Structure 1
Amino acid sequence: MKFRKWLTLMPVAALILLSLVATACGKPKASLVEDKVNVVASFYPLYDFTKKIGGDHVNVINLVPTGVEPHDWSPKSRDMQNLSKAQMFVYLGAGFEGWVHDTLGSLPKDSKVAVVEASKGVQLLASSEEEHNHSESSKEEKGHEHNESEYDPHVWLSPVNAKIIAQNIKDQLVAVDGAHKSEYEANFAKLAAQLDQLHAKYKDSLTKLPKKQIVVTHQSFGYLAKEYGLSQMPILGLSPDSEPTSKDLQAINEFIRSNHIQYIFFEELVSDRLAKTLAKDAKVETLVLNPVEGLTEQQAKSGADYISLMESNLNNLIKALQ
């Protein structure tokens, strides 16, 4: 009987042990601090910009963990607690965070968190616009009131838009913590200069190159393509978990052949299987084009940020478009 009872209890004991090991090995959750302005950011670029502008006066919590793709992520109870007690919450908008409206609606009535829609003021592109030489002018947003699902949310991949996003963050930091306005203004000016320089590098480098067509994993480079006269052919749609049809794959193969494409771009936070399979079939190579939606563990350890990732993207674009 004792042996049989031990067998019954063993899976439970094993689960408890695994849970303890996972807890011990896992990273501690970011938490609020008392002596700083606590800002919760919905995903990596907003976290990066807020840290740079806020400097020593701000404690920034990135909701999406390192190594996680943010498209299908949603907040847990600990995230909700941090959000409700923070002084400021920065989210992108433009339909990127599907969870945000329900989350804000369920915050406690006594929450004093100031909410920033970071994409406010950015001219949005229609989600149906896949940059396959489609007309752009008729599909651009004329105001910021819109049905968000109709728009491409990947606005931060244009350094020009990134600067607008950074300014929205800076303006709210000043509103929340006016005592440190001069430092926020100075930090923003430094970041804005870096973004201007990045924009100039992209413009100078890409306008000289003979090719303008790129094949990418998912349709996230519309704003970058529009800014610098490129045309993207996505394997997937706006969400990286969508699947192409056989007709889509035929069209991509034809696009590769007719435009003499030498590289298919993939990204690190989603599977590269499809990109590599397609590249093998088309007898071309693969390169990384990072949508800068988050960092890998290695990138976080090496101190990568929005600027360095976008510079790496530029180097790979130059290589592919020569």
Structure 2
Amino acid sequence: MKRTKKWDMRRKDMRIWIIGTALAILLAGCGNQSGAKLAEDKTNVVTSFYPLYYLASEIGGEDANVINLIPAGVEPHEWSPKSRDLDITSKAQLLLYNGAGLEGWIEDFLQGLPKSSKLVTGEASDGIALLKGDEDERGLDPHTWVSPKSMLQMADNVKKLLIQVDPAHQADYAANYEALIGKLKALDERFTTQLSAVSRHDIVVSHQAFGYLARDYGLHQVPIMGLSPDAEPRAKDLLDIAKFVKANDVKYIFFEELVSSTLADTLAREAKVDTMVLNPIEGLTPDQEKKGDDYVTLMDSNLQNLLKALQ
């Protein structure tokens, strides 16, 4: 009998441990930025995804507490907010979202805010000439930030919104903005100068995320999938792209890190070419976060890969 009781106790302890572990994992996945908390002595800024987190952190500096809703390694198209995200955002001073249809959840999210919330919201893509999307998918292409030229406009929008909610630190925000603009203008100049010298201009990409980059730097984007990275291409589309790759001497097919490279790999084998990363920078991977990568370093990596593919 004693052995049976001990065994039952062990089984009970094991069940408690398993349930506790599963609950901890579930709660970690349901939250936003790990350990994100509001700060009483700073302007609390919530961002919908990484590029806006980068802009708000750079411009906000020491005066802003920036909380990114989407954790590292999570694809923004596949994410939706939880109740904790709504609670934290409702107590913040500023919410930055991209707009142009990227955050399909934003309307319901804002309607769910309590009436007592004093949150100011802003679309970072405001003022950018938007590209039309696929008729059967979206009205607009939301991937504005993938072009450094667009990021210059988005940085200006973020600066103005920060000053609106916290005018006491206007001088600091303006100074931080000028420092950031220097980096973004230098990045834009590198893209403009170096891509103007390439002999090829066609880029075959797994996800239709590079329309603004192509428009601003004289490239031609040929996507395998549509504006959503999980959109399924038709067999005829894949055949047409394979023919295009062979006819136009395309050397590489680009894929991105936060979604599966299966289709890109399959097409590359069919067309007898290699694959390479072209990062839409919708979010950082945990490794990139650990290494200290940011928007500028990842865009520089993109530039080097483009130059290799288009030489």
Percent identical among aligned pairs is: 52
Alignment of 1:104-253 (within 5 A): 104-128=110-134, 149-253=138-242
In structure 2, distance between residues paired with 1:202 and 1:28: 34
CA distance in structure 2 between the partners assigned to 1:24 and 1:198 by the alignment:
39
What do residues 40-68 of structure 1 show as CA deviations (whole Å, max 9, x unaligned)?
A: 00000000000000000100001000000
2:21 to 13, 18, 28: 18
| Residues 259-305 of structure 1 deviation map (CA, whole Å, 9 limit, x = unaligned) | 10110101111111221121122111111100010000010001111
Say yes or no: does 1:84 pair with 2:73.
Answer: no
- Assess if the C-alpha contact under 8 Å between 1:94 and 1:151 holds in 2: yes
Preserved contact between residue 44 and residue 66 of structure 2 (Cα < 8 Å): yes
Q: Name the TM-score, length of structure 2 as normaliser.
A: 0.92
Match of 1:276 in 2: 265
Cα deviation digits, residues 237-265 of structure 1 (max 9, x gap)? 00001111110110110110011011010
Cα–Cα, structure 1 residues 20 and 128, in superposed 2: closer, same or farther, change >3 Å? Answer: closer
1:309 aligns with 2:285: no
Change in Cα spacing, 1:72 to 1:24, as seen in structure 2 (3 Å) is closer
Trace 1:26-105 onto structure 2 (pairs within 5 A): 28-105=34-111
Rounded Cα–Cα distance in structure 1 between residues aligned with 2:152 and 2:293: 19
Letter in 1 for 2:51: P
Aligned-pair distance for 1:29? 3.0
Q: Match of 1:291, as an amino acid? A: P
Gaps of 5+ in 1: 130-147
1:138-179 deviations in whole A, cap 9, x for unaligned? xxxxxxxxxx94110001111111011111110011111111
Please report the TM-score for the alignment, with normalisation by the length of structure 1: 0.89
CA shift for structure 1 position 28? 3.8
| Aligned-CA RMSD value | 2.3
- Structure 1 residue 22, shift from structure 2 partner: 3.5
Residue 247 to residue 23, structure 1, CA distance change in 2 (3 Å): closer
CA contact (8 A) 1:95 1:153 kept: yes
CA distance in 2, matches of 1:277, 1:57: 48
Structure 2 segments unaligned to the other structure (5+ residues): none
| Rounded Cα–Cα distance in structure 1 between residues aligned with 2:45 and 2:27 | 27
Q: Is the CA contact 1:276–1:286 (under 8 Å) kept in the aligned structure 2?
A: yes
Residues 21/149 of structure 1: CA separation in 2 closer, same or farther (3 Å cut) = closer
- CA deviations over 1:91-122 (Å, ceiling 9, x no partner): 00000000001100110000001101111111
Q: Which amino acid aligns with 1:262?
A: K
For residues 237 and 273 of structure 1, what CA distance do their matches in structure 2 show? 15
* Contact preservation (8 Å) 1:94, 1:149: no
The one-letter code of the counterpart of 1:180 is H
Whole-angstrom CA distance in 1 between matches of 2:72 and 2:134: 30
* Counterpart in the other structure of 1:286: 275
Give the whole-Å Cα distance in 2 for the aligned partners of 1:22 and 1:128: 37
Partner of 1:137: none
CA–CA separation in structure 2 for the residues paired with 1:28 and 1:115: 23
For 1:248, the aligned partner's letter is D
